[in-house]
Amino acid sequence: MLQRFFAKPWRALAFVQAHVPSQCAVCAAWPATRLCATCLARFGQPRARCNRCALPLPGGATQCGSCLLHPPPLDACVAAVDYAYPWAGLLSEFKFHGDPGWAPPLADLLRHAPLAQETLAAADWLLPIPLAAGRLGERGFNQAQCLAKALAPARLRTDLLLRVRATPDQHALGRAERLANLRAAFAVEPLRRHTLHGKSVLLVDDVMTTGATLHTAAQVLRDAGAARVAALVLARAEAP
């Protein structure tokens, strides 16, 4: 069993990094978990956010004006932190430097975000945003899938939402350009389409910028019959 578990090098690396004491990645405290309690308290404080797009809001409000005027295809969206220091750098280590050991501590941070527990409990399945085959091959793992597995492995489904078209890099694109870029990028597995009827699904991703990726995926799931589609993301960026 252990031989199968460690057959993929990134799994062995993730296991060691998640269980061996080390320095805090932010303040370098030793010995510590990857994120020490002091840094979590300093940089991980919850903020009032729009419950449909997760942008920060003034205290007391529950939805932003944009979501009130133009309701998105997401019934709810929860984010743990802003896409800023130190989270932007840590997510870069997670995704681009072959470090899937970040999944457990980041999932734990996400699990304790306001409304995250309720959003998780309401979902029949967790669907990570899929990567295109080429990008998955480059990284060796899907960071969204790692987060979803750390959150609720028994409800993780990777066989329903498919990435059927690779898309160019979107970092420099605005929302309208991203939506055009993502057209026909996602699809529901045809032979399992019927299983979505009446279900509550939760999309999981690491970063939400304009919402184009999550909204495109959510609409595909709605068109396939999902009764409720929500999203859980670690970091919410200010839309460009």
Q: What confidence tens digit (pLDDT) does each residue in 68-83 have? A: 999 999 999 999 999 9
Which domains are present in the chain? 46-236 (3.40.50)
Q: How confident is the model at residue 184 (pLDDT cuts 50, 70, 90)?
A: low
Average pLDDT over residues 229-237: 97
pLDDT in tens, 211-225: 989 999 999 999 999
Task: Give the pLDDT score at 6.
Answer: 46
Rounded distance between C-alpha atoms, residue 52 and residue 229, angstroms: 11
| Start-end of H helices in 28-82 | 37-43, 65-69
Residue 10: per-residue pLDDT: 45
Angle value at C-alpha 183, between 187 and 91, nearest 5 degrees: 80
3-state SS, residue 68: helix
* Mean pLDDT score, 124-143: 92
Instruction: Tell which residue, 201, 233, 10, 230, has the closest CA to residue 111.
Output: 233
Average pLDDT of span 148-176: 82
**Residue 52 confidence (pLDDT):** 96
Give the least confident one: 17-31, 77-91, 163-177: 163-177
